[in-house]
Amino acid sequence: MTVKLDPVTLEVIRNALPAVSNEMAADLQRTSYNMMIYEVRDFCTALMGVDGSLISQNVGGVSHFVADLGVIITDGVKRYGTGGFKDGDVIIMNHPAVAGQHLNNICIYIPYFFKGELLMFSMVRAHWIDVGGMSTGFGAGRSAIDPWMEGLQFDQIKLYEGGVRNDMLFRCIQDNIRFPESSMGDLRSQIAACRLGNRRADELFERYGRDAVMAGIQQVFDETELRCRNAVKQIADGVYEAESFIDDTGETPPQRVRINAKVTVKQGQMTIDLSECSKERPHGPNCRSLAGARIAYKAITQPLDPVNEGSFRALDIVLPEGNFMMARHPIPMTGWSLMLPTVADTIVAALAPAMKDKAPAGHHCDLGGSSFFGRDPKNGGRNFVLQSIDGGGWGGRPWEDGESGTVSICQGDVRNGAIEAIELKCPLMIEKRGFRTDSGGAGKYRGGLGIELQVRNFVEGRWNLNKPYRQGLASWGLWGGKQGTIGDSLMRKPGDNDFRETYGHRYLVPADTQVLVRRPGGGGWGEALDRDAAAVRWDVIEELVSRDQAKAKYGVVLKDDLTLDAVATEKERQTIRTNGSTDKDPVAIPTAIIDAAGISVMKTDLTVFATGLSK
């Protein structure tokens, strides 16, 4: 049956569907037990079609969570068949063979029936602080050699069947995790959010009817696809290619993981070919995810519009089995997300010569998570866990500086935990949290700054401090911009005079240990000597840039009272233009060279970015 919708009804349906997902998110955030959900917002909520299509998601939902929800639904339908779901079913899923993420990311979904017909599913994916094994915090780190070491694997298991609760299964989960109060509370919260989504869907279908709502969903998909195609048509047809890497995979000797992105643009259709990336890794990082390509595409096409299945119809992704982003079970997935921001950034870098007025420099590409856990003797010996995600710097843009202290392109509306809430729940003190001076790459538009976090723990406990996967390749600058600063983690134990670079999983430390976590900065856009000297002066006043770096990188000279010395600045800049800066980056920065044949090549000593533009 073909239904023709009037414009008003279509707009109501278009906006009602994301509103349902948003209300689910608000309900989840309000009722959850875990700070990673109610403070950090490490979750997504969605309505999914029976065919695995994304109908709607909450605004700010974690991007790399949402990108791979459809495979869970299609796998569940394959497992049970459309006739195998009942009203009142609740399914739990995190199995890495399909979900392709670390086991802490738990999916709960519930079928939605209207007048006995299965029409969609409501779904929540959220980060639990523990799922058994070595999963406490952000997962098993590089210690796990298989998913059984990581924790509990739930493979399309029905927690409720036809409304009847499986009490034995609930007991089994509760008995095999370290924080049952938190995780079981989060489980109930996820179920409640899904049930709310179904009630709101009921209201929509009752008001407009089954045919009108389903027709509206398809029309929204069609119109979204058209807008994305029109955005891609603004890019010259051609083949664009960029290559980068991540390093320190935990292997001996350390090995780099190659990221190669070949982007083909043709008449509004885009193909992102990741087949030349490294193969799956025995110790990670690995995942099963299209998120890197999908997130980059969404950012390039319609970054501010609600996302749905139509957002990706005009995108083809080439990602073969055995690639480290399409790894096969039982390869460990504990480091599943660490490469995805760099993948997205590399795709944007490939297209930079064709989008010079839009493409930013490289951003920090760091997931930003640290955790500390143990037992608090002053609180009845109860287990505690600190988790927080602290952002880094984004790359400078063609019109303004990069954002500071912001999570990566893959993390949606995730933010750091509130200091007051952390100190209330955990026996520790946040001694410092602020911007990391000089971490942003110099440029006409400066790269954003990373966060610097210093923590003192009052009791013995264990830290998870992962070494950043981008030690050899900082956030690159564009068009003469300088690279950002690489991140690190340092520790000072009682009796130590200085902080020392320290990494480890479940690393036992005594009371009164201090940890300093420094997040990377973003790359600069354009030549630093072209930056307005008054803007550099203001950066110094705000302690975003030091006086030494203002002179070395920007050629800006300030007097003792921090007023601008215009004459000395002009002289210093002229000296740098003539002789070159004495401040040398340890890694060369991509710069563009466009030859007469229309070939743009951006080269560094570590990477090669190449673009072939069609005539």
Contact 460, 510 (CB under 8 A): yes
Q: Which pLDDT belongs to residue 541?
A: 98
Q: Which of 92, 113, 95, 91 is nearest to 103 (CA)?
A: 95
**H-type alpha helices, 4-69:** 7-31, 35-38, 63-66
What does the pLDDT look like over 165-183, one tens digit per residue?
Answer: 999 999 999 999 999 999 9
Q: How many residues are recorded in the chain?
A: 615
Integer CA distances (angstroms), 556 to 149, 326, 575, 582, in order: 54, 48, 12, 14
Nearest one of 282, 247, 409, 396 to 343, comparing CA atoms: 409
Name the residue among 427, 550, 440, 524 with its Cα closest to residue 487: 440
Q: Compute, in degrees rounded to 10, the torsion defined by CA atoms 509, 511, 513, 518.
A: 80
CB 140 within 8 A of CB 149: yes
In the structure, what pLDDT confidence band is assigned to residue 357 with cuts at 50, 70 and 90?
very high
Give residue-wise pLDDT tens across range 496-511.
999 999 988 889 999 9
Residue-wise pLDDT for 288-324, tens only, equals: 999 999 999 999 999 999 999 999 999 999 999 999 9
Residue 281: its pLDDT value, please? 87
187-193 mean pLDDT: 98
- For residue 87 the two structure tokens come to 């009203």
Asked if pLDDT for residue 600 goes beyond 60, the answer is no
Q: In whole angstroms, how large is the CA radius of gyration of the chain?
A: 25
Q: Which residue has the higher pLDDT, 590 or 67?
A: 67
pLDDT band at residue 109 using 50, 70 and 90 as cut-offs? very high
Residue range 403-428: average pLDDT?
92
Mean per-residue pLDDT for 129-156?
88
Q: What is the DSSP letter of 468?
A: P
With bands split at pLDDT 50, 70 and 90, how would you rate the model's confidence at 140?
Answer: confident
Assess whether pLDDT exceeds 80 at residue 480.
yes
Pull the structure tokens for residue 83: 């006739």
Mean predicted lDDT score pLDDT of the chain: 91
Per-residue confidence (pLDDT) for residue 468, from 0 to 100: 80
Please confirm whether the linkage preceding 510 is cis (ω < 30° from 0): no
Q: Quick one: pLDDT at residue 250?
A: 61
* pLDDT attached to residue 171: 97
Category of 132 on φ-ψ map: left (φ > 0), alpha (ψ -120 to 50) or beta:
left
Of the chain, the percentage scoring pLDDT greater than 90 comes to 79
Q: Per the structure block, which two tokens stand in for 441? A: 């790459």
Question: How does pLDDT run across 32-53, given as a tens digit for each residue?
Answer: 999 889 999 999 999 999 999 9
SS3 category, 425: helix
Residue 222 pLDDT > 80, yes or no? Answer: yes
What's the CA angle centered on 19, arms 101 and 417, to 5 degrees? 50
pLDDT tens per residue across span 246-289: 986 566 677 889 999 999 999 999 999 999 999 998 877 899 99
CA distance 306 to 119: 21
CA distance 542 to 536: 10
